[in-house]
Amino acid sequence: MDIHKAFHMKGGVGDNSYSKNSSFQKGVANKVKHVTTEAIQQVFITKKPKSLVESASRAIQQPPPEFRIYLNDLHTNDFNTILQGLPDLYKEFNRGTKQQPPLYIAACPGTFYGLLFPDHSLHFVYSSNSLHWLSMVPRGIYDEEGRSMNGKSVYISERSPPALIHGGRMVLVMLGRKASDHAHCANSFLWELLYQSLAHLVAQGEVEDEKLESYEVHFYAPSKEELEDEVRKEGSFRMEMVEMFEMMRADVSGSYGTVVAKAVRCVQESMLGHHFGEGILDKLFHHYASLIDQESAKCDVKSTTALLLLTKL
């Protein structure tokens, strides 16, 4: 399976779309917004300290700085829905009498595992809820005949970006784990229930057992120690902050399982549909929602998010 072609969020603005079922991601982004804002401010102050001081002390009229923002995702993701919202964003940005700096926003599709931007062209990089998705399942979980050694489950638990300038900053937000064991309930809860839902369809004769055992979720939740070790080994960044925090369960009216199942579906639908066929998806996620309601009533499982703030050396 070519992940770069098969994996994408559910596009559009429909009931199962990513835009309608990404409140968790929005909540995480809002929770770390103060870190993101301060990091941007520090980059700007570092690069233009003199002009800022002069502007503040002498009220010199200078042309405002230009801001260029590049939106990146895989080619197969729905950029159209985002770009259609830009007119409203520009209108909100320019509201009021105060002159705002020129703002330019462009889409730059492609994988961050390759080159996306010219060298030394970015002052700030922000990645949220993305880096825990892998471009491929690690070869180490397959045996010599190419069979997955992760049977009875669908989840197992280089170089620095040359585009970032010296002193540039990165804020990285991704799902992580507090427990060392990948099979710990908090890490594998949703994936185990997804497996059980697929196994239910196997038992009903709607999915082949071989199809289930050959499916892998391209996901990895790193621990704090693993993140710190990777930054040290890479050697091009100074770690300003690394934190792990839990998000409280959102208050929802109706079925909590349905809300979570939709959130998982809008991310996993492209992969599941490609592997099993789209005909099973409604039944799969209906059963999945039911299992989530049953199991979440027994225990309160909170997801863990990792936050890193790095400065390019």
**For the chain, how far is it from start to end, CA to CA, in angstroms?**
37
Question: Is there a domain that residue 109 lies in?
Answer: no
Domain count, the chain: 1
Whether residue 55 is contained in a domain is answered as no
pLDDT of residue 74: 85
Is 148 domain-assigned? yes
Q: How many CA atoms lie within 13 A of 144 on its CB side?
A: 0
Evaluate whether residue 191 is within a structural domain: yes
Report yes or no on 77 lying in a domain: no
Q: 304-312 and 164-176 as β-strands: parallel, antiparallel, unpaired?
A: antiparallel
Assigned token pair, 283: 């039944």
State the residue range of the domain holding 217: 3-33+121-312
Task: Output the DSSP codes for 112-171.
Answer: TTS--S-TT-EEEEEEES-TTB-SS--GGGB-TTS-BS-TT-S-------TTEEEEEEEE
CATH number of the domain at 261, please.
1.10.1200.270
The answer as to whether 179 is a domain residue is yes
269 has pLDDT over 50: yes
For residue 41, pLDDT beyond 90: no
Residue 87 class from Cβ within 10 Å (0-12 exposed, 13-18 middle, 19+ buried)? exposed
Instruction: Report yes or no on 82 lying in a domain.
Output: no
Confidence of residue 49 (pLDDT cuts 50, 70, 90): low
Nearest-angstrom CA–CA distance, 105 and 193: 39
Residue 262 DSSP SS3:
helix
Cα distances (angstroms) measured from residue 94 to each of 70, 84, 91, 100: 19, 17, 5, 6
**pLDDT tens string 103-144:** 899 999 988 777 888 888 999 999 998 888 765 555 554 455
Residue 155 burial by Cβ neighbours in a 10 Å radius (0-12, 13-18, 19+): buried
pTM of the model: 0.83
Least trusted range by pLDDT, from 87-101, 166-180, 190-204: 87-101
- What CA–CA distance (Å, rounded) separates 232 from 127? 19
| Tokens standing for residue 264 | 């998982």
Domain assignment present for residue 290? The answer is yes
